Amino acid sequence: MAAAAAAAAAAPGFGARSLNARSPFLLALRCSASSACPSPSPSRDSDPFETPPPPNSSSSSTAAATTMATSPPRPFFPKRGQTLELVCESLAFKGKGVCRAADTGFVLMCDRALPGERFLGRVSRKKPTYAEVTKLKTLTPHRDFVEAPCEYASHCGGCKTQNLLYEAQIRAKEQQVRDLIVHVGRFDDRDPDFAGVLKPIVPCDVQFHYRNKMEFSFGAQRWVPRDESMVGKDKTDSGFALGLHAPGFFDKVLHVEKCLLQSEAANKVLAVIQDSWMDPSLGFSPYNVHTHRGFLKHLMLRMGRHLNTGLPELMVNFVTASYKPELLEPLVSKISAIPEVVSILNNVNTSVGNTSVGEEEYTLYGKSTITEMLRGLTFQISANSFFQTNSKQAEVLYKLIEDCAGLKGDGSEIVLDLFCGTGTIGLTLARKVRHVYGYEVVAEAISDAQRNAELNGIHNATFVQGDLNKINDTFGNDFPKPDIVISDPNRPGMHMKLIKYLLKTQAPRIVYVSCNPATCARDIDYLCHGVDERGIKGRYLLKRVIPVDMFPHTPHIECVCLLELC
Ligand SMILES: C[S@@+](CC[C@H](N)C(=O)[O-])C[C@H]1O[C@@H](n2cnc3c(N)ncnc32)[C@H](O)[C@@H]1O
């Protein structure tokens, strides 16, 4: 887990320490990934995922890895292509199962291996501190097994843990956050002060149909999983597909008839499109990413709510390689008959790249935006604007952010909203503070944020377009010293320039919101412990870490962290 987290945390410019092999950062990571490390902390001794002895096995209760033919050489280091019998101990970064070689503790990571599962795996990739394994066959199922309700769960790259009991999923996520804060963030979980810092994970009450946006791809090459149980179901005369990308392939699409993460209304639309689009008389062709021929690229389904009625409203966005509205007309007329559909758009993307953002956008039916409500505010969402994809859990997340911000509520404070997107966090705080300043790199998101402020009658928020990886010493000259900084970066976390700015500015409180606990732990380490090799002193105390599950059945973990100036 920690070795893979090192890779996740090591991005150019995002923390020199993570790239220095002799640094305590990597040493700490290494320690957690090898048997030569100091004895595990008390909390790790009581790992809820401790592996029970597999039936018919004489091995000890620790996870075992043995070669099929002979016992492993010492020190154990697997060869590429080698087949091993493994037991998964726990889940780590990206939901990969962590296994260890018996005796040496050498770490092996396996996609889709779940805690307690004994399986045969083949070594697919070797790294200095760990190896990656492809699962060949389950020998004994994992603990906390539940039937996955979705027929695609074992093949589609999205829901990797659907057949793990939800309570076990969130326990695993909470444990990952703890491990990262301890090993990457360099906090001592034996320290009594730390005991109160890490809060229990906030579960997601709604575990299916929670996503308000899904993007499917049209493909000229249908991916048929090798698993026998799927083959029959996936037989078709055509090689075309509309669904989700096969894990690891940009050109192969797993054909899906419905997705249990999106709403029933969105599944109705998907079913209508699946029913018709391959009809040869309609003349559709999926875009081929190799030949760059074909018309249909992506189908995006987005759900909001009507402002007055609260009823669902659905946006359907066809991303195509050229503009041919007459070709889409038969589909448009069928879909527009579905009551929830209020907007049908066509984004035309003529580039050879396969992104879903078009150079031109056309409204084929209804309106060009939908609305959603969050913490009493209204947000207008266009096809390409960023919006939290789990609206219900976003309410929970934003409430936690506000709690951590600890606003006085007297309208005296300045809030700096870094990585503000369409301004949703800053705007939900604006009514209680003097002014909100939001920074974001995407110009369209800034326009959306300004429009959202206007829509809600908020006049004390300023949104500025800018790249927070490229700030210089003048950053901060255009706004007063913040009382509270909210920082919600995307997966790479914060650039060292931004860390330095925060340490120089010394805002009394920082609320760090993260969708990547590895880079979050690294940045918190910098803010609290400094960067010795650069002579930078840490100035913050970590007061709270609250993991939040926004995406059940997937490996994604969100965290809200509160830091206070020492
Ligand atoms: C996780 S989203 C958070 C959005 C927003 N806070 C919200 O809750 O909706 C991260 C945001 O950071 C923006 N971003 C990514 N890199 C950036 C950079 N270098 N400078 C400024 N903004 C950036 C992205 O465009 C995205 O809107």
Domains and CATH numbers, the chain: 50-142 (2.40.50.140), 213-374 (2.40.50.1070), 384-565 (3.40.50.150)
pLDDT value of position 226: 67
- Say what the pLDDT of residue 76 is: 66
pLDDT above 50: residue 449: yes
Average pLDDT for residues 167-182, to the nearest whole number?
95
**489 CA to centre of ligand 1 in angstroms:** 5
Output the pLDDT for position 51: 25
Place of tokens 């962590």: 98
For residue 234, name the pLDDT band (cuts at 50, 70, 90).
Answer: very low
More confident residue, 75 or 173: 173
What's the token pair of residue 322? Answer: 């050229």
Predicted TM-score (pTM) of this structure: 0.84
The best mutation among 440, 485, 511, 515 to test binding of ligand 1, ranked by most ligand atoms within 8 Å of the C-beta, falls on 440
Catalytic residue check, 515: yes
Q: Which residues line ligand 1 (CB under 6 A)?
A: 386, 388, 419-422, 424-425, 439-442, 445, 467-469, 488-490, 515
Q: Give the three-class secondary structure for 472.
A: coil
* Residue 303 or 308, more confident: 303
What local confidence, expressed as pLDDT, does residue 35 receive? Answer: 27
The Cα 3–Cα 131 span in angstroms is 10
pLDDT tops 80 at residue 44 = no
Asked if the interface predicted TM-score (ipTM) of this complex is over 0.85, the answer is yes
Dist CA 239 CA 229 (whole Å): 19
Task: With a cut of 60, say whether residue 232 has pLDDT above it.
Answer: no
Do 93 and 4 form a contact (C-beta atoms < 8 A)? yes
The residue-averaged pLDDT of 519-536 equals 95
Identify the band that residue 75 occupies on the pLDDT scale cut at 50, 70 and 90: low
For 248, phi then psi, to 5°, come to: 85, -5
| Residue with CA nearest ligand 1 atom 26 | 421
Q: Are 414 and 483 in contact (CB under 8 A)?
A: yes
Helix (H, G, I), strand (E, B) or coil at 298: strand
Write the Ramachandran bin of 377: left for phi over 0, alpha for psi from -120 to 50, otherwise beta: beta
**pLDDT greater than 50 at residue 453:** yes
Contact 65, 100 (CB under 8 A): yes
Helical axes 24-32 vs 2-9, angle rounded to 10°: 150
pLDDT tens column, 282-298:
999 999 999 999 999 99
Spatial separation of the C-alpha atoms in residues 255 and 217, rounded to whole Å: 9
DSSP 286: B
Asked whether residue 440 is marked as a ligand-binding residue, the answer is: yes
pLDDT at 93: 77
Confidence of residue 548 (pLDDT cuts 50, 70, 90): very high
Question: Is it the case that residue 351 has pLDDT exceeding 70?
Answer: yes
E strands, 262-355, in order? 296-305, 312-320, 341-348
Cα(396)–Cα(76) distance, integer angstroms: 46
Q: What is the pLDDT of residue 14?
A: 52
Judge whether residue 107 has pLDDT over 70: yes
Question: Residue whose CA is closest, atom 17 of ligand 1?
Answer: 441
Take residue 123 and report the two structure tokens written for it.
């070594």
The answer on whether 175 is annotated among ligand-binding residues is: no
What is the atom index within ligand 1 of the atom nearest the CA of 417? 6
Q: Residue 376 has which token pair?
A: 């009493």
**What's the pLDDT score for residue 238?**
53
What pLDDT was estimated at residue 23? 30
Please tell me the predicted confidence (pLDDT) of residue 72.
44
419 Cα to the center of ligand 1, angstroms: 4
Radius of gyration, alpha carbons of the chain: 25
Side chain identity at 22, as an amino acid letter? R
Q: Check whether 510 has a pLDDT greater than 60.
A: yes
> How many angstroms does the Cα of residue 507 sit away from the middle of ligand 1?
20
Compute the distance from residue 424 Cα to the ligand 1 centre, in Å: 11
> According to the annotation, is 372 in a ligand binding site?
no
DSSP 153-177: TTTSSS-TTTTB-HHHHHHHHHHHH
Q: Is 361 annotated as a binding residue?
A: no
What confidence category does residue 112 fall into, taking pLDDT thresholds of 50, 70 and 90?
confident
pLDDT at position 65 over 70: no
Averaged pLDDT, 111-119:
91
**b/e code 22-41 from CB counts within 10 Å (16+ = b):** ebebbebbbbbbbeebeeee
- Active-site residue, selected from the candidate residues 37, 515, 520, 559: 515
For 390-443, the pLDDT digits (tens) are 999 999 999 999 999 999 999 999 999 999 999 999 999 999 999 999 999 999
Going 170 to 172 to 174 to 177, the CA torsion angle's sign is: negative
**Residue nearest ligand 1's atom 27 by CA:** 421
Q: Considering only CA atoms, which of 316, 415, 408, 441 is closest in space to residue 366?
A: 316
Three-state SS string over 493-511 comes to CCCHHHHHHHHHHCCCEEE
Supply the residue whose CA is at minimum distance from atom 1 of ligand 1. 490
More confident of the two residues 70 and 556: 556
pLDDT score recorded for residue 13? 55
User: Which of 213, 419, 441 for a ligand 1 pocket mutation test, highest count of atoms within 8 Å of Cβ?
Assistant: 419
Higher pLDDT, residue 513 or 190: 513
pLDDT above 70 covers a percentage of the chain that reads 84
CB-count burial class (<10 Å; 0-12, 13-18, 19+) for 189: middle
Mean pLDDT of the residues in the chain = 85
Whether the Cβ atoms of residue 399 and residue 490 lie closer than 8 Å to each other: no
State residue 22's pLDDT score.
29
Residue 251, pLDDT > 70, answer: yes
Nearest protein CA to atom 12 of ligand 1, as residue:
419
The pLDDT value recorded for residue 298 is 97
> Given pLDDT bands bounded at 50, 70 and 90, which one contains residue 267?
very high
Within 10 angstroms of residue 505's Cβ, the number of other Cβ atoms is 16
How crowded is residue 166: how many other Cβ atoms within 10 Å of its Cβ? 17
User: Rounded CA gap, 345 and 368, in Å?
Assistant: 7
**How much is the pLDDT for 97?**
93
Q: Residue 542 — φ and ψ, nearest 5°?
A: -85, 120
Range in 79-88, 176-185, 217-226 the model is least confident about: 217-226
Cα(467) to centroid(ligand 1), Å: 10
Q: Report the candidate in 64, 61, 53 with the shortest Cα–Cα distance to residue 106.
A: 64
pLDDT in tens, 466-484: 999 999 999 999 999 999 9
Write the DSSP string, 86-148. EE--EE-GGGPEEEE-TTT--EEEETT--TT-EEEEEEEEE-SSEEEEEEEEEEEPPTTB---
Check if the beta carbon of residue 257 is closer than 8 Å to that of residue 231.
no
pLDDT for residue 95: 83
